[in-house]
Structure 1
Amino acid sequence: MIVKTLLENRSVKERYETEHGLSLYIEAGERKILFDAGETDAFIRNAKRMGVDLAEVDMMILSHGHYDHGGGIKYFMDLNKKALIYIHKEAFRPHASIKEGERKDAGIDDSLLHNNRVRLVDEDLYFGDELVLFSHIKGKEMVPRGNSRLLMKKDSGWIKDNFHHEQNLLIKEGNKRVLVVGCSHRGIVNILDQCEKHLDRPWTAVLGGFHLYDLDKNKEEDLSFLKGIADRLEENNAVYYTGHCTGHDQFSLLKEMMGNRIHYLATGSIVEI
């Protein structure tokens, strides 16, 4: 299995473009998967630089209904004429974030809702024995505090986002068990706990964002929260690859706590599992 980071906030080399977003290209067995597509078409240019032919991707998965993960879908569909795109049906609700006291649009293009290549997801999906796409995380432990500034529109009003639209991908290849997440808005420990029901072997690796960027390294309460995350992640044998909304300073602290159990997933990085 190989995972190439087509887009992330930082890069391993200057020749790669960066933006606040995430896009991963995954080869697992015979499958070629695009997981998220950033905000713009930058991931496409990075893919060419990394030798990835996006026209050959078999399927695309959107982790959740935010622009920095789904803004590039339309560019991908112009390039790739065959892949189906799996989006949770709740992702098409209007979404927003509060920035400097103002509500800013954070959603995705709702015209995709009517595209015949888009498959709306609600329940867990199984693609043979190799892939499980799951959502509706029920746990409430160590949920990111930054969620308090993220909204969704329901009926005629704005409420706090419940992130039922967040999807996670479990990949099974031989003896390997790999979890891919977007931002872990429901809490990475809760996602791991719920995914346990789909496991028949120990974890191998976990990749994606953990949404910890707003934790203040100078506040004891926030450091304690981060230490709690690190302790829970170390309870299994997985190796973690994270970035984007995890936050660079927060990653550095996790690195101090977890050592070689955790690595940064910057644009241009290649992970062989």
Structure 2
Amino acid sequence: MINVTVLAENYVKDFRCRGEFGLAMYIETEDHKILFDTGASELMFANARQKGVDLSEADICVISHGHFDHTGGMPEFCRQNRKADIYLHRDAFGVTFGETKGKIDDYECGILWDPEVLEVCGDRVIRTDGPEWIGRDVVVSGTIPELPEFQPPERFYRLRTGADPGLAGELTPESAGEMSAGSAGKSRTGRDLIPDTMSHEQFLAIREPGKGIVLFSGCSHKGIIAAICRAKALFPGEPLYAVVAGMHLIGASCGMRQKIIDRLIEEEPQIVVPLHCTGLEAICMMKAQLGDRCRLTGTGGRLRF
């Protein structure tokens, strides 16, 4: 049995809790208590108290990727929890910017605290790259292989290592270079940016005996279908039982949303829980087409698999 308590999410399920643009979930299995992401702030701690969750008891923490809305509560978690192994991709840190209406944002969207915060955790910090197994039935994916035809149409950029952070200025995607791993560009303020390939994104997958794979994904910037394909490769022969994920379809066209939903239906999950950045339009489409298999929740909500 897997029990999940949503500690931070865009919307609220339990009126005693507060929501925020972010994601944090507390996942309890027979063997582990796992914190998956930490929201955009320290709000998850107040919500945890309301739900009777003691975050100091978590023995695992998984950070899905290096963006502010999934890592905001991490400094306080490091202060409160003295035993959890923390799975964070080795590429998670970087000065990161998103893009809005063809112009690169003038504010950072990456991890907003200093890496030194993690020093108190010592060797409990596991910097991932490839898959990291936690026993036979739990895995942190590490870098997710790309599946471009199912990847949401969005762009992120990172400051080239050693460059001057500066200010964003009037950057455009064209001035920052083409979206390929080797491209780069320099703004008129001198800031040197390269496309962020989202190599630091990872998911958590748990094999529930007699049911199959339960997949947890924070934003699915590389696409929820890419995550599903990777999870099934990590657990060969196991069916996909549940997908609990932000799917970042909020900026996708209706056609792209439908293409992803069609493929999701082909994967035959018994349960789909769209969260966070999936977007209301995409959530409504999923609910209409998946019916009772699509479950809606929010901050303070509980799930059981």
TM over 0.5: yes
1:105 is aligned to 2:108:
yes
In structure 2, the CA distance between the partners of 1:7 and 1:24, relative to structure 1 (3 Å rule), is same
- Residue of structure 2 in register with 1:6 after alignment: 7
What do the CA deviations read for 1:78-117 (whole angstroms, capped 9, x no partner)? 2211112110010012222234743311111232454413
Structure 1 partner of 2:143: 136
Which among 285, 289, 294 is matched to residue 262 of structure 1?
294
Question: Equivalents in 2 of 1:57, 1:13: separation in Å?
Answer: 22
Q: How far off is 1:236 after superposition? A: 2.3
Correspondent of 2:278 among 242, 246, 253:
246
Q: Give 2:251's aligned residue.
A: 214
Q: Does structure 2 retain, via aligned residues, the 8 Å contact 1:141–1:189?
A: no
1:133-159 Cα distance to aligned partner (Å, 9 max, x none): 1132222222111x22x2122333212
> In the TM superposition, what is the alpha-carbon distance from 1:261 to its structure 2 partner?
2.2
Give aligned pairs, total. Answer: 265
Moved more, 200-209 or 248-257: 248-257
Closer, same or farther in 2 for the Cα pair 1:143/1:152, shift >3 Å? same
| Matching residue's letter, 1:23 | A
Is the CA contact (8 Å cut-off) linking 1:206 and 1:241 kept in structure 2?
yes
* Equivalent position of 2:81 in the other structure: 80
Aligned pair in 2 of structure 1 residues 44, 207: CA closer, same or farther (>3 Å)?
A: same
Report how far residue 227 of structure 1 moved. 1.2
Kept after mapping to 2: 8 A contact 1:29/1:173: no
1:219 corresponds to: none
- 2:144–2:202: 8 Å Cα contact kept in structure 1? no
Q: For residues 22-70 of structure 1, give each alpha carbon's deviation from its aligned partner in whole angstroms, at most 9, with x where no partner exists.
A: 0000011120000000011111111111111111100100000001000
Q: After superposition, where does 1:37-52 map in structure 2 within 5 Å?
A: 37-52=38-53
Greater displacement, 37-46 / 115-124: 115-124
1:112 and 1:118 in contact (8 A); partners too: no
The answer for the alignment partner of 2:196 in structure 1 is 161
Structure 1 counterpart SS, 2:140: strand
**CA distance in structure 2 between the partners assigned to 1:82 and 1:122 by the alignment:** 22
Distance of 2:249 and 2:18 partners within structure 1: 23
Stretches of 4+ aligned residues off by more than 6 angstroms: none
Verify the 8 A CA contact 2:142 2:202 in the aligned structure 1.
yes
Shift of 1:118: 2.1
Provide the C-alpha distance between the structure 2 equivalents of 1:22 and 1:185, rounded to a whole number of angstroms: 14
> Partners in 1 of 2:246 and 2:218 — Cα distance?
6
Distance in 2, Cα, partners of 1:38 & 1:204: 25
Q: Does the aligned pair in 2 maintain the 1:22–1:244 contact within 8 Å?
A: yes
Counterparts in 2 of 1:21 and 1:96: CA distance versus 1, 3 Å = same
> Between Structure 1 and Structure 2, whose CA radius of gyration is higher?
2
Percentage of matched positions with identical amino acids = 34
CA shift digits 1:198-222 (9 cap, x unpaired)? 223211101110001123xxxxxx2
Q: Do 2:78 and 2:118's aligned partners in 1 also have CA atoms closer than 8 Å?
A: no
Write the distance in 2 (CA, Å) between the matches of 1:203 and 1:267: 25
Amino acid at match of 1:28: T
Instruction: Please name the residue that 1:35 is paired with.
Output: 36
- Indicate conservation of the 8 Å contact 1:230/1:258, yes or no: no
Deviation at 1:74, TM superposition (A): 0.8
2:64/2:203 contact within 8 Å kept: yes
Selected match of 1:194 from 217, 223, 230: 230
Q: 1:195 deviation in Å? A: 1.8
**Which ranges of structure 2 fall in alignment gaps of 5 or more residues?**
164-191
Question: Aligned equivalents of 1:61 and 1:243: distance in 2?
Answer: 17
Kindly provide the amino acid, as one letter, of the partner of residue 129 in structure 1: R
